[in-house]
Chain A
Amino acid sequence: MSETAVPLTTKKDWSSDQEVRWCPGCGDYGILQAVQQLMPDLGIRNENTVFISGIGCSSRFPYYMNTYGMHSIHGRAPAIATGLAVARPDLDVWVITGDGDGLSIGGNHLIHALRRNVNLKILLFNNRIYGLTKGQYSPTSEVGKVTKSTPFGSIDPPFNPLSVALGAEASFVARTHDLDRKHMMETFKAAHDHRGASFVEIYQNCNVFNDGQFNDITKRTVRDEMMIDLVHGEPIVFGADQQRGVTMGRDGFLRIVEVADVGIDNIVRHDTSSPYPSLAFALARLNQDDHSPTPFGIFRDIERPEYTAAVGAQLAQASESKGPGDLTALLRSNGTWTVN
């Protein structure tokens, strides 16, 4: 609303006065820190920023931000945020959701927000467990997981959140994790700068009900071998000496190889802007077998018509062709007769 230059802010200006109430050691803290620290760099105003969440530990997030916010109901944040963004495309709207919130009860709203490409930044805190309800398995929990509701192990095959997002035609898809503040900030910034719906999966540790879920990937000792840092336009390589890489066979499958064996020219170059989602999709599923490394960073970042802009364009066009709404004329638009 204000038209003067955006004032300089610090992390403190973006933190609310509310006491943060996650369990000590919870991965959510790191994510909150990253977001609060990033906000001053985005060139936006507190009053033009809105955080909408569902229900879950992660969804407490908006209370801690000095912005407008709504802690809504379980699973519905993408729908509520869509209404908000449609009404007010001038706002910077963030959605905070969990693996249960976004992929179980609210799966329908998530895929439709992505399909419509509403200008929302959707951060999905994936701890592969229901935290708030004290530890039941979630739609991202692995088969065999023993929880309170699956004493004999879960028999539900999980969702791969990025596959879901890509399948829903998401125009921006990324993955980051709660231990790397810098990576989170870079990823969130890219999500923010993207016009349209951005979907970021954040691996988040729930140290109370699912501690160490991501240790095999993100622990410092294994990171080099188990994490791939995706860089647009660069060959997809990893390892302490970047000695390993990813190739794509004629069958379309990705394989992990020694770079030396195939030559760097035969390593797949990452392309976030490809109109075809196949590479992003294949990369999203590279770790399906648990032994292969997990790619992090931006999988897909393409331009696609943004929803709220399209809504606005239709409104503008209608006003241009019909003039401003005239109620007196509307009430007579179905034909009239006069009694006298």
Chain B
Amino acid sequence: MNDTIDRSDSTVLDRLVVRFAGDSGDGMQLTGDRFTSVSASFGNDLSTLPDFPAEIRAPAGTVNGVSSFQVHISDHDITTPGDEPNVLVAMNPAALKADLHRLETGGTLIINEDAFDERNLEKAGYDANPLDDGSLAGYRLIKVPMTSITKEACEPLGVKPRDAERSKNFFALGLVSFMYTRPIEPTLEWINQKFGKNEQVAGANTAAFKAGFHFGETTEQVGHRYEVRPADLPNGEYTSITGNTALAWGLVAAGQLAKLPITLGSYPITPASDILHELSKHKHFGIRTVQAEDEIAAVGMALGAAFAGHLGITTTSGPGVALKSETISLAVAIELPLLVIDIQRGGPSTGLPTKTEAADLNLAMFGRHGEAPLPIVASYSPAQCFHAAIEAARIALKYRTPVILLSDGYLANGSEPWLIPDVDSLPDISVSFQTEFNGTDDEGNPIYLPYLRDDDTLARPWAIPGTPGLMHRVGGLEKADKTGNVNYTPQNHQLMGDLRQAKIERIAADYDPTEVRGDADADICLLTWGSTYAAVHAAWQRQRRDGHQLAWIHLEHLNPLPNDLGDLLRRFPKILVPELNKGQLCNIVRGKYLVDAKSVSKMSGLPFRTKEIEDAIEEARS
């Protein structure tokens, strides 16, 4: 077996969706990840959707314990993990039960038949064995005794059968690699690197992988081979990146571009914890991370660090944002830069912690006491989280304001190939601290006015402790314009409230003109934010390919909304707003622009399918 794969007998596909499903302990995430990496380095465009249970160890063999990884690879530009898998790998009856309904009619079903014993069938809730009762007749069924072949393959290495069994996911990977002509070398190398320290494990995984590949080669059962050619991606250096890694790296970059050290205060919560983990590794970038006692402390630490002159960041999910609310309002009042990152998940309460939803827009927009406006940025693809983080930091620093960056579980764990940007092309977002007096008192003595605003941005100066002469006190009590002394007068409160609002509104002046994609004179305009970008992009492309007129506006800034948005929306008789919530942006634009926008809502914990968006468009058209 070598890496020059013989593709002479294979059929070319333009795209392929594979779903690996098994028990939580079966290593499906790892398997999917490997398949993705190999396809990425082979040059396919791709998009992934990991789907795993909230329980760390859900009862083995049950439907609740099923962990899946769906990957879509193609020879052209794609954004979604695919509506319906073409191939489903089911490692046990529970996986079959949980995921069969997703498989396309006539799709390929690869089954570990060893796992279909009476006990497992019962745990999965099957009365009869679906492998025998004809219920799978509509699919191309490939039954493979994966467990036993893996055990056999590992036997010469002296691996105990129980341990060998754990390598069966590599058998599956080997088999799928053969069927879809994936390169082999990178996986073998990776196994060595990852498990090299433990020779037995590395050996077993290698043996299992090769056994899977050979099984494909030698048995008639798998039949024809397929390939998906590399996509025509722009030239350059690529890496495969998840949203959370991209976001973490964007934060590291923001610190560098701002020339500021970073202090992160964070409390672990799915699906945001990876960002804490990632940033904790990069101390040599001057990044301090504190795992706080709770979310309130976490944001407090970030704000304390901001007062001290750092880029203060806190990362969390919806329940954490709720706890941070009071401190975010304090940050609005004391007008200091602060980054609050919300990786949204299904709510309310603990809800669906490992599933995606985008229902925190209202929380971000309105979830504070008093009038406490703040900017909101939303990322829309895994890799784009990198740039969204830099943009959020830019706004926070320039306007001295807390900013909420919304991402979600789908972006966080999903991955895609990323053309690595040239670091020199990234924006300079540095700001300067106040070091001099900026006013005079009644007697003409020079003094520091902490609330003397910049004419353009309305931002107040940022004088940090350690600066001689500029000692001042900030705080939650209403402050007088300019002097920052405590002031409760009616005129001053009105003025300060107006100024805080005006400052946020000015941020829109920085935006590029809003892009209307597609047909500017179409009847229907799609309006989106966040990760619905993926499905809407695919649906919009298909509809237009099919000859329909369609416009699409995607928002990266949700507050303030772009100044030109109202006029653009009013041009369209029909506006559709697909969201993974009950119509939050839809309500905002209806209220703000008095347009008859219609919500396309989904709240199942899963991203939109392309088809669902197309159906909504077709319904609106008819």
**Chain A residues at the B interface, C-beta cutoff of 8 Å:** 1-2, 16, 18, 45-50, 52, 55, 62-63, 65-73, 76, 79-88, 90-91, 108-109, 112, 311, 314-315, 317-319, 321-325, 327-328, 330-332, 334-340
A67–B466 Cα distance when bound, in Å, is: 10
Query: In the complex, what's the smallest C-beta–C-beta distance from B404 to chain A, in angstroms?
Result: 18
Q: Is B376 an interface residue (CB 8 A)?
A: no
4 nearest interchain CB pairs?
Answer: A71-B475, A83-B304, A83-B301, A325-B285
A48–B420 CA distance with the chains assembled, in angstroms: 42
Find the residue from A62, A76, A90 having the highest chain B CB count within 10 A. A76
User: Which of B234, B283, B296 interacts with A76 by CB under 8 Å?
Assistant: B296
User: Does B330 have its Cβ within 8 Å of any Cβ on chain A?
Assistant: yes
Q: How far is the CB of B30 from chain A (nearest CB, A)?
A: 15
Which of chain B's residues have a CB closer than 8 A to the CB of A86?
A: 263, 288, 290, 301, 304-305
Measured between beta carbons, the chain B residues less than 8 angstroms from A317 are 283
Q: How far is the CA of A340 from the CA of B236 in the complex (A)?
A: 6
Q: Tell me the dominant secondary structure on chain A's binding face.
A: mixed
Known: A48-B466, A335-B41. 12 other contacts (CB 8 A): A1-B467, A52-B304, A65-B473, A71-B477, A83-B263, A83-B290, A83-B301, A83-B312, A84-B304, A112-B292, A328-B423, A339-B235
Let me know if A336 and B294 touch, CB within 8 A.
no
Contact residue among A46, A72, A108, A318 (Cβ-Cβ distance under 8 Å from B475)? A72
Whole-angstrom CA separation of A321 from B288 in the bound complex:
17
> B236 to A338, Cβ gap below 8 A?
yes
A87 engages B420 (CB within 8 Å): no
B residues whose Cβ falls under 8 Å from a Cβ of A: 37, 40-41, 43, 230, 233-241, 245, 249, 252-253, 256, 261, 263, 265, 282-286, 288, 290, 292-294, 296-298, 300-310, 312, 326-327, 330, 334, 420-421, 423, 465-477, 485-486
A90 to B57: give the CA distance in the assembly, Å.
Answer: 46
Complex contact A332–B471 (CB within 8 A): no
CB-CB < 8 A to A327: which residues of B? Answer: 252-253, 256, 423
Is A336 a contact of B284 with CB atoms below 8 Å? Answer: no
Whether A334 contacts B241 in the complex (CB less than 8 A), given A76-B297, A325-B252, comes out as yes
Count CB-based A-B contacts (< 8 Å): 209
Q: Contact check: which of B238, B241, B283 meets A339 at CB < 8 Å?
A: B238
Q: Which A residues are in CB contact (< 8 Å) with B474? A: 69-71
Considering the complex, give the chain B residue whose CB is closest to the CB of A317. B283
A334 to B382, CA, bound (A): 15
User: Which of B237, B421, B473 neighbours the largest number of chain A CB atoms within 10 Å of its CB?
Assistant: B473
A197–B408 CA distance with the chains assembled, in angstroms:
38
Q: Is the CB of A1 within 8 A of B468?
A: yes
Chain B hits for A322, CB < 8 A: 284
Residue numbers in A under 8 Å from B307 (CB-CB): 50, 68, 70, 80, 84
**Cβ contact within 8 Å between A112 and B293:** yes
Closest to B310 in A: A87
Partner of B239, one of A47, A72, A332: A332
In whole angstroms, how far apart are the Cα atoms of A2 and B465 in the complex?
12
A323 and B284 contact, Cβ closer than 8 Å, known pairs A62-B473, A86-B290: yes
The residues of A that contact B238 with a CB separation of less than 8 Å are 336-339
Question: Smallest distance from the beta carbon of A57 to chain B beta carbons, Å?
Answer: 13
Which residues from B are CB-within-8-Å of A50? 307, 465
Cβ–Cβ < 8 Å partners of B237 in chain A: 332, 336-338
Closest to B314 in A: A83
Residues of B within 8 A of A314 (CB): 283
- CB A17 to nearest CB in B, in angstroms, measures 9
- For B263, the closest partner residue in chain A by CB is A87
What residue in chain B is nearest A68 (Cβ atoms)? Answer: B465
Of the residues B294, B330, B465, contact of A73 by C-beta under 8 Å: B330
Please measure, in the bound complex, the distance between the C-alpha atom of A159 and the C-alpha atom of B291, giving whole angstroms.
Answer: 27
Q: List 30 A-B contacts (CB under 8 A).
A: A1-B466, A18-B485, A47-B466, A50-B307, A62-B475, A67-B471, A68-B472, A72-B330, A73-B476, A80-B303, A81-B304, A82-B304, A83-B300, A83-B302, A84-B465, A87-B288, A87-B309, A88-B308, A90-B466, A91-B308, A317-B283, A322-B284, A324-B285, A330-B282, A330-B285, A337-B238, A337-B239, A338-B235, A339-B235, A339-B238
Query: Of B41, B284, B304, B330, which contacts A325 at CB under 8 A?
Result: B284
Q: Is the CB of A72 within 8 A of B37?
A: no
A324 neighbours in B (Cβ, 8 Å):
284-285
A47 and B470 within 8 A (CB): yes
Whether the Cβ atoms of A88 and B475 lie closer than 8 Å is: no
- Asked whether A84 lies within 8 Å of B486 as measured between CB atoms, the reply is no
For B40, give its contact among A55, A321, A337 (CB under 8 Å): A337
The complex places the Cα of A47 from the Cα of B261 at a distance, in Å, of 20
CA A82 to CA B469, docked complex, whole Å: 24
**Residues of B with C-beta under 8 A to A83:** 263, 265, 290, 300-306, 308, 312
Residues of B close to A47: CB separation below 8 A: 465-471
Question: CA of A325 to CA of B296 in the docked complex: distance in angstroms?
Answer: 30
Contact A84 B466 (CB under 8 A): no
B292 and A79: CB pair below 8 A? yes
A331 and B420 contact, CB distance less than 8 A: yes
A321 to chain B, nearest CB (A): 8
**Which residues of chain A are within 8 angstroms of B236 by Cβ–Cβ distance?**
338-340
CA gap between A334 and B245 in the complex, in Å: 10
| Contact A335:B235 (CB < 8 A) given known A82-B304, A87-B310 | no
